[in-house]
Structure formats: C-alpha cells, structure tokens
Structure 1
C-alpha cells in the first residue's frame, strides 16, 4: 500500500520515485515489473528511493485492469465462506475447478456473504474475469448480481428456466428415477423424501402448491423423478411426506423428527443430497434403528464421504469433478456463447439400501 509523502496528503507515485532516483519513469517502472533488464546499480538506487519514501510498488490491480484480464475466476455462493470447506459436494466441486485453473495458471477468488448487502459489494468488487455460481441457495440473487457486473458466469445448476443463463448440471429427473426404482425393486412401498430447497428461506413439509411454485426447478425435477417412478410401482405419492431442508444438519434432523412421528413411518428415505442422507443415517443410529435393516436410505451426489460412512451410502453419483472442470473452462475460454450442458449420472449401490423389514 502506498504511503503519503511527509507533509503532503498526496500518495507517493512512481513518478516521484523516478525523480528522486534520477531516472526516467520507464526505468523506474521496469525496476518493479522487469528488474532483469535494469542494471543492478540503478535497481538499487530506485529501490532505496522507494524505501525512503514508503513506496511499496505499483498497484497490481491497476496493471491487471489495464491488461483487460486478471486471470482469475470468482466462485460465488450466498452460503458462509466455510461452506466451500465444510460441504462435501462443494469440496469435490472445488477440486474440479482448481484442476482447470491450475492447468492455465489462473487464480480463484471465493465470494460469499451472510447478508445481501455484503454479497452485492463482494460481487461488485471481486477482481475476476467471470463467476461460477453455486446456486444452492439464493441462486436468483446471485444471477442478478453477476449480470450487473457484465462478466461471463455459469450456474452450477440447470434449474433455471432462463435459457440465457449458462449452466452445467445433471439430468435430475433421470437420476431421481434411478433412486426410486432401486428401492421399489427391493420391495419398499412406504417412502419419505428429504429434499433440498424449493425456495429460499423456507424449511418444513411442503404442499403441492409450493412444489409447483418452486424457485429451484432442479429440486422440483428430482421430486418429479421420484414420484414418476413411485407411481409406476403403485405407490400413492400423495401420501409420501416431502420435507424441505436447507441441506444441513439442523433442518434435516427436524425433518426426520416430523417424518418418524407419523403413524406409518417410512421404510425408505429418498434424500436429495448425500449430506442429508448421511445426517439421516446418524440420526437413525442414535435411535437404535438399523440401516438398512429398518430403514433404507439413498442419497444423491456421489461425494467420497458417502463411501466412508457406516453403512456406506447408496447414491446417485454426479460427475462432480468434471462439472467443476467444465464450469471453469466455460469462464477461462469464454467466447460470448451461452452454453447449457447436461451430464449423465450413475447409481452406486452400497450397503445403506436393502429389502424392507418383514411384513412391510
């Protein structure tokens, strides 16, 4: 950071250093940007003048902005900054983004905030060439703010019906059908759904009207896939409770309390994320219920943590790292085109799913 000249309120400039050292402005500039082409004696004289006047060097932001490209991607979320490190899906996604950035020498700036005002400031002030949006919560707000920056951006969710938004994701309907079919073929007929959010700032049991009015159509698509397959096996989906969570422990546990307080608790849980599913496994174990002996659980994501939980989690696996790679390349190689890419999912069968208890 530049210091002030003694007795003056004007910040020290490179021209001041050049004058004090008795060199041209260009020579002084080369000392900081291309020192190898400046004689050692001149370099030392310029550096001594800079140190005496409290000058740390040219502002790198100005140089980058003049170049028109800063060679960095902003990864934005309305979640707290800890989300990028705590959430298993986010961690794997960041690995894919990092891999693409490492290949080109690009940097990554994490952009998040706990309130709308700070988020707007962080988006507006981020020194990046474009944004990757984690549209888990607050997605429409993220899209609105990044549009205002007039920089390229891509949403990690295909659930925006606005086809002017570049997005990359998976076929949520197809993945959800695989999950429901697997449990139905095992013999289950009593189900519950622990969902991601249909709209911001809301949790609890959801009504058909709330589902239809979903802001996040990706969540609605997963439920559509579940219900289409359950109906094919004769399950009355009107009787299947759907509890909207915030994809974290507190709301997931509240959902489980609600669901298992009913007269006919489910023998199978369709969880819209692996994180939700792993919380459910823990909650059931605390109450002496066996997975899958009493309740089968299937997740959705395919994060590495799922293979390590007890029992290992059956899940619908997304190609998370590849999604991250492609999203980063959309920004790094931006050519002005809007792109919407859908990648395939696969079912990974592990030990958390099995037949229902006898008599169910």
Structure 2
C-alpha cells in the first residue's frame, strides 16, 4: 500500500519545523522566500498535495457555507419551478453573506445520512418535500443550526419558515367559487408516499404530508362558506408530475358532468393541466378555469397566464439562510404572507 505523505514528512525533508511548513501552505507571506521554495520543492518531490482543507475549516470553527438538503434526487433543485425560485432566494442571501452553498441529496437513506454527516457547512436548510422527519433526525445529530421548509408536522423544537396553507387555499377557492363555479375538483400534491388517484376523507385525514392536508382543508373551508359541500368536490392525489396529473384529468373529464374549475395544489400541477386541456381543445377559461398555488415565474408566461396563490418563495429562502446565520440557539417559527394573483386562467363558468 502507498504510504500517505504528511506535512511532518515535508517539514523533515526540508529541514524546517512543522509549524514553518504549515505556514508555507497557509500563510506564505510570513515565510522567507528561500525557506518557502525549499519546502515547496520537498513537497513536490514527496508528492504532497497540501493540507486537508476539511481539517483546516473544521479547526477554524466556521466554513462560511450553507447546506441545502433534501431526500429528493439532485435534479429536483433544477427541474421543479418552486425549488428553482427558492434556491434563487437562498443564493441571494448567501451572496449577501459572502457564503457558499452545498447541495446535499441522495437517492437512498444510507447515502443521505453519510452526505449530511460529512457536509462541510455551518448549517442546513432542509427541503422537507419527502422524508422530512428523517432529514430533521439526521441533521439534529450534526448539532448545527438548521431550518425546515415544508415539514410534515408542527414541531416547536425545529426552526421553520413557511406560510399559512389553509388560509391561502381558502382564499383562492373562494375566488373561484365567487366567479360562479359549482362543479370543482382538487388536484392534490401527495398525501402519502406512492399513491395517486381519487382519495377518501379518511385518507385525507391520515395524510403524512400535513401541507397537502392543510390545503385541502383550506379549499373546503373556502367553498363551504359559499355553500359548496366537500362531498361534491373530488380530490385527486398526484405526484406533482405529468403522468399522474394527466391520469387525474382523464378520469375527471370522462364524467358526464366534468368540472368547470380545477383547484391545483401547485403551479406545476396547474401548468400540466393547462397543457392537457389545450391538447384536447378544451378552452381555458371559456370551458374550464384553472387555479394554481405557488406563484412561480412560469405561471405568468403560460397560455393563458395562471391565476395562483403566490407565496413569497424567494423570501422564504432568504429568511431561512438569515435564520441560520443569526442563530441564537432558540427555534424560530416564521410565517410569511401569501397573495392572491388573479390572471387569465379563471373566469365565470360557461352558461348552462
């Protein structure tokens, strides 16, 4: 086996102390030129690449970097429109601090645990899209500051940044109902892992992803205020992807009385719905109104532009980073306001 060359070996070969050799690599300006050249020559001859930056950073106590962690594949950070805007907010806050970003992800739990344990960061922003409880558990073990986004349950011991999902959903459902719609359907984000399709009240009540359940409860509350019973509004669970959204729409529009309005739990679902409807010549909003939730930039560019409940997505990212750098050892719960953005995808229903 090849022996690892250490700094002490370089110092011995160059005839200097280990402290002097260390200064050559870390503080070269305080070392005389002839000594520096002698140490560098010894390092080249021995094949020494330099000190381990990980060890140096850990000894310093701060690395000036934020870890952004999720149990989703790394592609999630780039493919999902919500994640892209959130990352822009995180990056903006890190730029203000002169800090870097480390993306932490893995396709299986074993690698995720290793990646979180080995990440050289000062704290973590957790994307609790999937496996949020496990992310929190693993991150606690690092004993570093962390902030959870979209955690599956309320936890007073965990710093969180988010919105009032119920109130936002109630407001946009009220907008659609006030236009006169009485045949509606909800296209939901996942309530549990690995399931899609029409869900029952019992399945909604037992959802492990509380944000999805809260939004359904909000939709139903907003509709109930206008005299629309939950029993008449089907809820289809999707995986926030084209395949499951298309399947839900195919089922809904096979009905003799299809919905005249869709309440989509994410803008991504809504954008897939707009494409599906356009491909079949179903006019939006002439025949069907479509309402999203998030406020991603793509919604402004869709045809027609998407009505949505806009979250301050980038601000959520900035606040999460700020909470880490300003960590005082006490959990912080920050709830930001949402705003109803009415565009061209919603209108009164067609005449009977």
- When normalised by structure 2's length, the TM-score is 0.97
Distance 1:163 1:200 in 2: 25
The residue matched to 2:308 in structure 1 has which SS? strand
Q: Is the 8 A contact 2:307 2:346 kept in 1?
A: yes
Question: Which of 196, 218, 221 is the aligned partner of 2:214?
Answer: 221
Deviation at 1:102, TM superposition (A): 1.1
Unaligned 5+ segments in structure 1 are 1-7
Question: Which of 187, 193, 196 is the aligned partner of 1:194?
Answer: 187
Question: Which of 11, 16, 38 is the aligned partner of 2:4?
Answer: 11
The residue matched to 2:112 in structure 1 has which SS? helix
- How many residues get paired? 352
Distance 1:151 1:357 in 2: 56
Question: Which of 310, 313, 317 is the aligned partner of 2:310?
Answer: 317
Distance 1:32 1:119 in 2: 33
Q: Is the 8 A contact 2:129 2:151 kept in 1?
A: no
Q: Is the 8 A contact 2:133 2:151 kept in 1?
A: no
Q: Is the 8 A contact 1:158 1:169 kept in 2?
A: no
**Map of 1:145 onto structure 2:** 138
Q: Is the 8 A contact 1:74 1:128 kept in 2?
A: yes
Deviation at 1:41, TM superposition (A): 2.1
**Map of 2:350 onto structure 1:** 357
More displaced 10-residue stretch of structure 1: 322-331 or 243-252? 243-252
The reply to whether residue 184 of structure 1 matches residue 177 of structure 2 is yes
Distance 2:288 2:201 in 1: 25
Q: Is the 8 A contact 1:158 1:340 kept in 2?
A: no
| CA distances 1:260-297 after superposition (whole Å, capped 9, x unpaired) | 22232110000111111000000111111111111101
Distance 2:186 2:268 in 1: 14
The residue matched to 1:43 in structure 2 has which SS? helix
The reply to whether residue 253 of structure 1 matches residue 226 of structure 2 is no
The residue matched to 1:252 in structure 2 has which SS? helix
How well do the aligned residues superpose, as a CA RMSD in angstroms?
Answer: 1.4
Aligned pairs for 1:1-360 (under 5 A) are 9-157=2-150, 159-359=152-352
- When normalised by structure 1's length, the TM-score is 0.94
Distance 2:279 2:208 in 1: 34
Deviation at 1:245, TM superposition (A): 1.3
Deviation at 1:65, TM superposition (A): 1.2
Distance 1:31 1:99 in 2: 35
Distance 2:81 2:70 in 1: 15
Distance 1:144 1:26 in 2: 40
Q: Is the 8 A contact 2:170 2:219 kept in 1?
A: yes
More displaced 10-residue stretch of structure 1: 217-226 or 112-121? 112-121
Distance 1:124 1:200 in 2: 25
Unaligned 5+ segments in structure 2 are none
Q: Is the 8 A contact 2:245 2:272 kept in 1?
A: yes
The residue matched to 2:192 in structure 1 has which SS? coil
Following superposition, which runs of at least 4 residues in structure 1 exceed 4 angstroms of deviation?
A: none
